[in-house]
Amino acid sequence: MSEGTFIVDCPCCKAQIEVDRKNGKVLRHWAKAQVKEGTDPMQEALKKMKEDKSRLDAYFSNAGKSMEDKKKELEEKFESEKKRIKDSGDTSRPINPMDLD
């Protein structure tokens, strides 16, 4: 909240509204949090945090495995190309693009 705004609770929808002091325009509107009847909001928040943590852990472990697979694939390609060049007997150096100028 900046110096030129204030936050009020909406009497209609019970949400919070940020209003500009000078012109009275609504700058932001935060919807009221939906709480299921008969549930503990703290338990729900804790459950959601645990689900998010497990989802992120799975994502990062899969990303690490994906990077290892990619590295292995690139090393195999490098070795096969190295073998192909060695078998062809070509020992000349490739053209350096900087020498073309």
Q: Where are the alpha helices (DSSP H) in the chain?
A: 41-88
Band of residue 1 on the pLDDT scale cut at 50, 70, 90: low
pLDDT at residue 37 above 80? no
Residue 24 has pLDDT above 80, yes or no: yes
Write the pLDDT tens digit of every residue in 49-77. 999 999 999 999 899 899 999 999 999 99
- Which element (helix H / strand E) includes 39? none
Structural domain boundaries of the chain?
1-33, 40-86
Identity of the highest mean pLDDT range in 15-24, 39-48, 65-74: 65-74
Whole-model pTM over 0.75: no
Mean pLDDT value across residues 36-41: 78
Q: Name the nearest CA neighbour of 5 among 15, 19, 17, 16.
A: 19
Distance CA 31, CA 27 (A): 13
Cα(13)–Cα(29) distance, integer angstroms: 11
Query: Does residue 23 contact residue 4 with C-beta atoms inside 8 Å?
Result: no
Order of strands across the sheet that contains 16-20: 5-9, 16-20, 26-30
